[in-house]
Amino acid sequence: MFKRLTTDTFNWILIIGVVLFIFEIAFFYGGSIVSALFSGLFLYIGWKYFNKLWGKIFFWLSLVSLVFAVFNLLAVRFLIIASIVLFIINYSKTKKHVDHLEPILPGGEIRQETLMEMKPLFDHKMFDDQKTEETAYQWRDVNIHGAFGDRVIDLSNTVLPNDTAVISIRHIVGNIEIYVPYEVEVSISHSSVFGRVHILGKHHWKLMNKTVLYQTKDYDSAHPRVKIVTSLFSGDLEVKRV
C-alpha cells in the first residue's frame, strides 16, 4: 500500500498529523500526551523491576494505560483513519486491475499432480497450551501462530528428516519450550518485544524489542538439523538438549 503512496499524499498526511498534534497541545493542554509520557515512565520502571511481583503489575497496568493514552491522541486517530481509507482505495484499485497468468506448456498438455493431504502437527489455537505427544509421533514441519498459552515441542519422540526440519511459531503472550536431541544440529532465530531467552546455555535475561540468532557449530554441514524461527510479543523461549 505505501509503495503506491505519492510523496504529496504522504506529505499532506504528515502535515495534518503535526497540526493536530500542535492543536491538542495548544487547546487541550497536552491532552493525552501527558498521560502517555507518565505511562511510558511507569512502564520503564515496571520493566526495570519486572522480576518482582509489583514490577509485573506496574508494567502491565502502565502498558494498558499507555495504549489507551496513545490511541486518544487526535493525531494518532487521524493516522489510523487515513491508513484505513488508503488501504480501501488501493485494494479497490488492485481488484479492478487483476493480471491472470496462465502457464504455457509444450503441446498444450496439462498434467494433474498427485497430492496427498497431510495432517499438521499443531493446529492454530488462540487460547490454549499445546505440546507434542509424549509417545512416538511422525514428524511434520511446524508453522503456527497463536495468542495466549505455552507451546512445548519435544523432538526426542520423533524421527527428523535427513534434510532440514522447520519450526516456525508466531505468538503473542506465552512461553515456548523446545527440546532437541544431542545429535541434532540447531539454528535459532528469535525475536521478542519483552521476555527472556535460554538457548543451549546462552541466556538473555532481559530481551526488549530485539532479535537473537544462534546456530550450532556443524549446522551448515551436518544432518539431521532443525531450523527454529520464533517471535513473541511477551514471553520466554527455552531451547535445551535432552
Q: What is the pLDDT of residues 158-216, one digit of tens each?
A: 888 888 899 999 988 889 999 999 999 999 999 998 888 999 988 888 888 889 999 99
Least confident interval from 20-24, 118-122, 188-192: 20-24
Asked whether the predicted pLDDT for residue 242 surpasses 90, the reply is: no
Please state the domain extents for the chain: 2-96, 130-241
pLDDT of residue 201: 86
Least confident interval from 99-108, 134-143, 162-171: 99-108
pLDDT of residue 48: 81
Query: 100: pLDDT confidence band, cut at 50, 70 and 90?
Result: low
pLDDT of residue 105: 60
Question: Are the C-beta atoms of residues 192 and 233 closer than 8 Å to each other?
Answer: yes
